Structure 1
């Protein structure tokens, strides 16, 4: 790509915003099945973006944004394991992309944001290597359908979270707990799928660039001795490096692989031909989703415990994380720092440090998610979300400082342009710049942050064009 413009945008995920879960011959996703069977709040309607996308994109354009990061729903596009295409699914995303382009919005497309087709989950999901090749086929369908209209492609969104939440903490389907062997195999298959998709992208000579989006938790410790430095390295491998480093340089971190071998995990599934595909097909860019850092300490003892908060201020449990023989979260230090109602530490400097640390991979970077989830009363005269404005402002300042310091950072996407379904947190955890009245036909109501972000983009745009 010749000249790289700076992207100011916002981001969503298909299951979290589209609704229309059984419309136009869409197949069932693993989330459809799991939430329905367990009678949990679901995304059947969500933000009803499927029917409001023109209004939503207009609001983005009027809000000064020049890019929209969205994901495509695999089960909306591919009907079955045989790979048959759903023309109605292709038509919806084609119309969405055209609407973006008509409004001067760059479509920034993610191929997979967690909504695996149930027909593949029934075959073992990401534990099944066949799914990596099915993903390759799915991506090829997208590349062919939208080539020339989409310049920015991402294979996956946050492999860590959908794998670890499915097979470690067990709060996402398939809800397995502390199944480390399964985690390792899923990670391998996903990174193979990432490389296979990149291989197809290059062989098909698709216009534009392809990357991957990783969750990034900047790792710190409050001591500098050898044990704490090793804990930082272990946590960095666990949280970040197996995604980012593997995608960028084409190999899993060698010390992580050796540690897994010494711990007795079976790595025999890793084949030389797969590792060559991973090595030879790396990303053109990396997207970093940054919300919060982690402060760690050396492992003290006990079994692995990984917990998450899906209840916000109502959560009464202990969120302490222990990864046996690797590291622990330093709870006492974390509690002293500013945090949101879900216990996530607020530390904007971590975004700058994430960019700085990832600069060693020498690929362009984007901050593909950053935002603040809040409880909000949207039925008032004006939605004055000052905390969200403060949060975004400070993180944007750190991003601009990184840009000024010469790091190859090329865009910023707020999560999210409008309120949406926040997985098992439901709809009360609001991230949007625009409110969605879920009880009133999903009416859109811009918040103060929407207008602030519009002005922030305008104020910074001229400087970035220099």
Structure 2
């Protein structure tokens, strides 16, 4: 049986807003989520997994269960409560303590600078559509590099640009809750990629000793049948959600084919994309220096042609079969009856991960290394006598790890896997109903319980082979 390389990282992932809680402690400022969630009155993120206070417990568990890497993020509004200005000493000190604890437990921190949590004052100025916000993000990154750069080896600029803009401007389940505005989504993605590039170039100019990358959610797109119309629809969604970002990341420019498809989407949605030559100069410089790409993978999608107006229903409750996703000028996601799905209608399709890894190797051969920075299965876990039987999660992770092994054997340089998530965390649109963690969190007491999957993952990390 083929084993994972000895240097392969077995880790888990978290994000500040979803794990830390303590939203009003330590001088932290607001993100765009707090007031919105309070007004909705459905989910309360104020405590989340209490990682702000429980991080030592969680990192001890990570070490005990064989993990040697963890994704964390630095909450921008904990360092700069208004996004700019004077740094908050309590926030600065907290991340020193957190990073130091990671290192003392031999759990390497992979630190994300933006994980869906723009400070509220900058969000109100337009978020990624605002030049002031983008400049402030570069300043925030520069501060973090100077403050923590002697401790942090791996930096991630932005987590999932596509998910940000899809949530804000297409699906509408992230503030400002705009639906079907593909022109805003495309423009914001471009701005995010220029901001990412500016930060990569800054990091390299300062000659920090570590590595820097970006994390994309990459879902393979397949035509539901081999008709010309369905193949074009799959290509169109693949370009919008994947290739637009990969082109910018790896090449520093958009290919003619990518721009032809993006221009057609914009035309059908009454919009345009504004770029400058300076944007591409910055992006190309960063593409040549980027150290790694993180891939978040949960599902792939099967697409058919679609001539109607945009129509989306986001399944946030686990009511299986309720999802609708059709985009004007793009296509419609449909069920493939031969592919199982989660309760949230996400197809369980590990082949999509292998195909994406091989696609990057073939079409972006200048990439240096890849990490699978998130993968996992949300489920309605139940604690019974202090135990959680989650064999479905084990089966899900096993087949995705096998897909990674197959890609490595085919020559793809994949250097690590981070399961989402270390412990159960707050979910942006599902609250606490959808659990991903290796460790069950009783959100009333904040007690942690290893799930069956935690013991299985430990055996894989220790043996370096699938059990």
Give the TM-score normalised by the residue count of structure 2. 0.93
Q: Which residue of 2 aligns with 1:238?
A: 240
Q: Which residue of 1 aligns with 2:38?
A: 36
Q: 1:25 deviation in Å?
A: 0.6
Decide which of 406, 409, 426 is 2:411's aligned counterpart: 406
Give the secondary-structure state (helix, strand or coil) at the position aligned to 1:306: strand
Cα distance in 1 for partners of 2:291, 2:37 equals 36
Q: 1:325 deviation in Å?
A: 2.4
Counterparts in 2 of 1:376-415, with a 5 A limit? 376-415=381-420
8 Å contact 1:167–1:180 — kept in the other structure? yes
Does structure 1 residue 329 correspond to structure 2 residue 333?
Answer: yes
Decide which of 192, 211, 214 is 1:212's aligned counterpart: 214
Decide which of 34, 43, 54 is 2:56's aligned counterpart: 54
Counterparts in 2 of 1:297-446, with a 5 A limit? 297-299=304-306, 301-313=307-319, 317=322, 319-331=323-335, 333=336, 335-360=337-362, 361-362=364-365, 363=367, 364-440=369-445, 442-446=446-450
Once the two structures are superposed, residues 177-227 of structure 1 have per-residue CA deviations (whole angstroms, 9 ceiling, x without a partner) of 112221122112111111111111111111111111000111112433433
Q: Which residue of 2 aligns with 1:146?
A: 148
8 Å contact 1:83–1:137 — kept in the other structure? no
Cα distance in 2 for partners of 1:291, 1:92 equals 31
Cα distance in 1 for partners of 2:248, 2:133 equals 19
Q: What CA RMSD, in Å, does the superposition of the two structures yield over aligned residues?
A: 1.9
Cα distance in 1 for partners of 2:83, 2:147 equals 19
Q: 1:105 deviation in Å?
A: 0.9
8 Å contact 1:367–1:411 — kept in the other structure? yes
Q: 1:94 deviation in Å?
A: 1.1
Gap change, CA 1:194 and 1:369, over 3 Å in 2? same
Cα distance in 1 for partners of 2:196, 2:261 equals 24
Q: 1:158 deviation in Å?
A: 0.6
**Runs of 5+ in structure 1 lacking a partner?**
none
Once the two structures are superposed, residues 143-185 of structure 1 have per-residue CA deviations (whole angstroms, 9 ceiling, x without a partner) of 1111121111111111111111111111111101112221122
8 Å contact 1:436–1:444 — kept in the other structure? yes
8 Å contact 1:133–1:196 — kept in the other structure? no
Cα distance in 1 for partners of 2:10, 2:197 equals 28
Q: Which residue of 2 aligns with 1:288?
A: 295
Cα distance in 2 for partners of 1:252, 1:453 equals 39
Q: Which residue of 1 aligns with 2:14?
A: 12
Give the secondary-structure state (helix, strand or coil) at the position aligned to 1:419: coil
Aligned structure 1 segments of 4 or more residues deviating by more than 6 angstroms: none
Cα distance in 1 for partners of 2:89, 2:190 equals 31
8 Å contact 1:245–1:252 — kept in the other structure? yes
Q: Which residue of 1 aligns with 2:124?
A: 122
**Runs of 5+ in structure 2 lacking a partner?**
none
8 Å contact 1:33–1:118 — kept in the other structure? no
Cα distance in 2 for partners of 1:153, 1:449 equals 28
8 Å contact 2:68–2:107 — kept in the other structure? yes
Once the two structures are superposed, residues 62-100 of structure 1 have per-residue CA deviations (whole angstroms, 9 ceiling, x without a partner) of 111110011111111113254321121111111111111
Cα distance in 2 for partners of 1:279, 1:29 equals 31
Decide which of 179, 202, 205 is 1:203's aligned counterpart: 205
Q: 1:232 deviation in Å?
A: 2.3
Q: 1:320 deviation in Å?
A: 2.5
Q: Which residue of 2 aligns with 1:104?
A: 106
Gap change, CA 1:38 and 1:320, over 3 Å in 2? closer
Worse-matched range after superposition: 107-116 or 230-239: 230-239
Cα distance in 2 for partners of 1:417, 1:243 equals 27
Give the TM-score normalised by the residue count of structure 1. 0.93
Q: 1:366 deviation in Å?
A: 0.7
Give the secondary-structure state (helix, strand or coil) at the position aligned to 2:294: strand
Gap change, CA 1:431 and 1:251, over 3 Å in 2? same
8 Å contact 2:82–2:120 — kept in the other structure? no
Once the two structures are superposed, residues 415-451 of structure 1 have per-residue CA deviations (whole angstroms, 9 ceiling, x without a partner) of 01110111120112110110100012x0011111111
Does structure 1 residue 457 correspond to structure 2 residue 461?
Answer: yes
Q: 1:18 deviation in Å?
A: 0.3
